Amino acid sequence: MKRIFSISVFVLCTLSLCTLSAQSLLTPEQLAKREKRKNLTVKEWNTDEKSKTRWLDRIKVYDDQGRCVEEIEYATYGQKWRITSTYDDVTGKVLEEVEYNDRNRPTRIRKYEWNADGTKAKQYNYLPNGKLFSIKVFEYIFSDK
């Protein structure tokens, strides 16, 4: 029983440190922005100058942690595209993005891997049927200039 308790405490402490580490990667400005966006939905509208007709241009939906979980682009005829995002609960980084077409059918799935310093390592691009299409690798080169 003692061993199970100590393992549980270790796991909780590790999760707490990972969360603090992920939070520390964000600047105070980024944290303040996220705080303002909690459970927010932003609608952008366009207006035709001549006819004064108005139509919905874009919607962004943020979750309870201030992260964008859905973005929809519209045209006068309806939805152009939509992207949904899934985040890692521990790091707060995007794990997966699914892009949908004007008929609300998936067209592309992107999955991400991240480096320990919070930079993007790899992006896996999948077709709607789940078949891997391509892999993008990110390389960061700093110069002294």
The enclosing domain of 71 has a CATH number of 2.40.128
Separation between Cα atoms, residue 16 and residue 35, nearest integer Å: 20
Domains: count for the chain? 1
pLDDT of residue 129: 95
Per-residue pLDDT of the chain (145 residues), as tens digits, is 444 444 443 433 443 434 444 444 778 888 888 888 898 999 999 988 888 888 899 999 999 999 999 999 998 789 999 999 999 988 889 999 999 999 999 999 999 999 999 899 999 999 999 999 999 999 999 888 7
Q: Flag whether 80 is in a domain.
A: yes
Q: Which domain holds residue 86?
A: 27-137
Q: Flag whether 70 is in a domain.
A: yes
